[in-house]
Amino acid sequence: MKRAFLLLFLSLLMGSFVIIKITTLQAETTPSQESTQENIKSPFAEGCNKCHGDEAAYKEWTQAGHSHALVNLIEGPYEVKTSCLSCHSSGYTMFAEGAIQGHPYSEKTAVNAVACSSCHSHASKEESLLIIPAKKLCVNCHKMDCGCAGAGIVHQSQSEMFLGREGAGVKRMPSPHVRAMKKRCVHCHMAKDDPESVAKHGGHTFKAEFNICSSSGCHDSADNDMAKRLPNYKAEIETKMKEVKAILDSATDKTSQAYIDAKLNYDMVKGDSGYGLHNIPYARALLEHSLSLKSEIK
């Protein structure tokens, strides 16, 4: 009997959820989404804010990069294709899943940034209703090769650096953090003390803070103090980068394999916060390989 009631309750909940999903015509929009056209009447608008708008997660999200992803894409200097939306707008997922039929979907009709349903679905069975487990979530979008060949855009290399792969001439070398951190990127980028409060870092701002190195109890001893070690790493990597750059700049043949490999490694390190922060040993190995190619670069 209890079970029947539970089922009835659940199906009512699901039912109203579907209705809400379809009738989000009046959904409120956040300032960050307002600058795109036609959002209010769009069936693609998510409407999660109807119920979650007062929560810390929502408020944090409006403060940071993900909520501007669509505007930045459309107003950016590159030619925009519908496929760009697979990472720059959550509407693409809804469209691809066939949740909304009979409406054309493109950069002209898209209204959502990287928003709640880019990562969550009430239909999911994962922890926190994530559409894929946390450890795989971020690398899905945060990758160098966006699959948008020909668009002339190089995306940042944090995922490749963290996982220690895709560089030239260097074996796979995952960051030690890959083993230590089950939730990977989420561990540092969403860390926050109080889940209820609206934070400026961590949580749904997805902004990592350097404090995380010591506050998590990992690097708090004197000989393991990251606040002291990081500047040294940074200086070391930046010196090596200058050496590689000098070789690249003086090259006349920019088509040789040696040049291409040396440049790829350089770009990977530079594309990761400027000095390969997410995996210093790998950054060092990449640059050393580039330096070893010096005599082959003409």
CA distances, 291 to each of 80, 265, 294 (Å): 37, 10, 5
Is residue 41 at the binding interface for ligand HEC, with CB under 6 A as the rule?
no
Which residue is listed with tokens 């200097």? 77
Task: Give per-residue burial for 230-246: e unless 16+ CB within 10 Å, then b.
Answer: beebbeebeebbeebee
Task: Tell me 79's DSSP state.
Answer: P
CA distances, 236 to each of 19, 100, 108, 227, 269 (Å): 57, 52, 46, 15, 13
Which residue is listed with tokens 């003409």? 298
When binding is defined by CB under 6 A, the residue of 40, 99, 100, 146 that contacts ligand HEC is 146
Q: What tokens appear for 112 in the block? A: 């959502």
Residues 264-283 that bind ligand HEC (CB under 6 A): 273, 277-278
Angle 231-175-199 from CA coordinates, rounded to 5°: 65
Q: What tokens appear for 114 in the block? A: 């990287």
Is residue 285 at the binding interface for ligand HEC, with CB under 6 A as the rule?
no
Is residue 81 at the binding interface for ligand HEC, with CB under 6 A as the rule?
yes
Is residue 214 at the binding interface for ligand HEC, with CB under 6 A as the rule?
no
State in angstroms the smallest separation of the CB of 245 from ligand HEC.
21
Dist CA 187 CA 298 (whole Å)? 44
Is residue 172 at the binding interface for ligand HEC, with CB under 6 A as the rule?
no
- Total residues contacting ligand HEC by CB under 6 A comes to 77
Is residue 51 at the binding interface for ligand HEC, with CB under 6 A as the rule?
yes
Is residue 204 at the binding interface for ligand HEC, with CB under 6 A as the rule?
yes
Q: Identify which of residues 120 and 240 has a Cβ nearer to ligand HEC in the complex.
A: 120
When binding is defined by CB under 6 A, the residue of 40, 168, 181, 226 that contacts ligand HEC is 181
When binding is defined by CB under 6 A, the residue of 28, 40, 64, 133 that contacts ligand HEC is 64
When binding is defined by CB under 6 A, the residue of 45, 188, 258, 268 that contacts ligand HEC is 188
Residues 85-144 that bind ligand HEC (CB under 6 A): 86-88, 114-120, 122, 128-130, 134, 137-143
Q: Identify which of residues 109 and 159 has a Cβ nearer to ligand HEC in the complex.
A: 159
